[in-house]
Amino acid sequence: MDPLNGYEIILASGSPRRKSFLESLKLPFTVQTFSVEENFPDHLQGKAIAEFIVKQKKAPFEKIIQPHQIVITADTIVWCEGRYLGKPKYIQEAKEMLEQLSGKSHEVITAVGFLTTHKFELLSEVTKVYFKKLTEAEIDHYLEHQPPLDKAGAYGIQDWIGTIGITKIEGSYTNVVGLPLAQVKEKIEHLINK
């Protein structure tokens, strides 16, 4: 029996974590990416930023998508005290981000887009994450051994800094890693079975 009901899933993300999560669903998929500038208008805040970037990421596929294809795009951001924290460009910026997150709570927001030839649907998930007060030595150790330049907010919850620094989360764990898997699975099932 065809688990995808004749559909083909394309993951439009180079993230190894998202790829691994999708593999865990045991659904066949391919990876196809286009380079997209992750810029957004200054007035956008929180969830609206992630959703805007996801819409940008689906744009290159609109001209090439075929019937019975589902293109999944995603973007994860960190939102702390009214400030957007994306992927740091260099180690000093990563250190500044971690210092800002230290001893506080913040939101990890992942927007996921589902593009078909008929329409584009979005889902967004928000998880609240609490960090203990991190010491400078802990931050430096992390940056030296696991440079997080590919991660929003300069950390991975699954990394050493997450293990020793995060005291509590409210919401989806997989969302913090980069893909709210339960919600994505439900949306795929809805699309292929309607």
Tens of pLDDT, residue by residue over 3-36, are 888 999 999 999 999 999 999 999 999 999 999 9
- Crossing angle, helix 181-193 and helix 16-24, to 10 degrees? 60
* Separation CA 100–CA 88 (nearest Å): 13
pLDDT of residue 157: 95
Tens of pLDDT, residue by residue over 70-124, are 999 999 999 999 999 999 999 999 999 999 999 999 999 999 999 999 999 999 9
Band of pLDDT at residue 66, cut at 50, 70 and 90? very high
Query: Is 194's pLDDT higher than 80?
Result: no
Cβ-proximal residues to 52 (8 Å cutoff; 6+ apart), any chain: 40, 41, 44
pTM of the model: 0.93
Query: Domains, the chain, ranges and CATH?
Result: 8-193 (3.90.950.10)
* Gap between the terminal Cα atoms of the chain: 17
* Separation CA 87–CA 8 (nearest Å): 30
Tens of pLDDT, residue by residue over 40-56, are 999 999 999 999 999 99
Cβ-proximal residues to 38 (8 Å cutoff; 6+ apart), any chain: 53, 56, 75, 86
Tens of pLDDT, residue by residue over 134-177, are 999 999 999 999 989 989 999 999 999 999 999 999 999 999 99
More confident residue, 37 or 104: 104
- Angle, CA of 75, 152 and 28, to the nearest 5°: 45
pLDDT of residue 1: 58
Catalytic residues: 75
Burial class (CB in 10 A: 0-12, 13-18, 19+), 32: middle
Residues of the chain with pLDDT > 70, as a percent, come to: 99
pLDDT of residue 38: 85
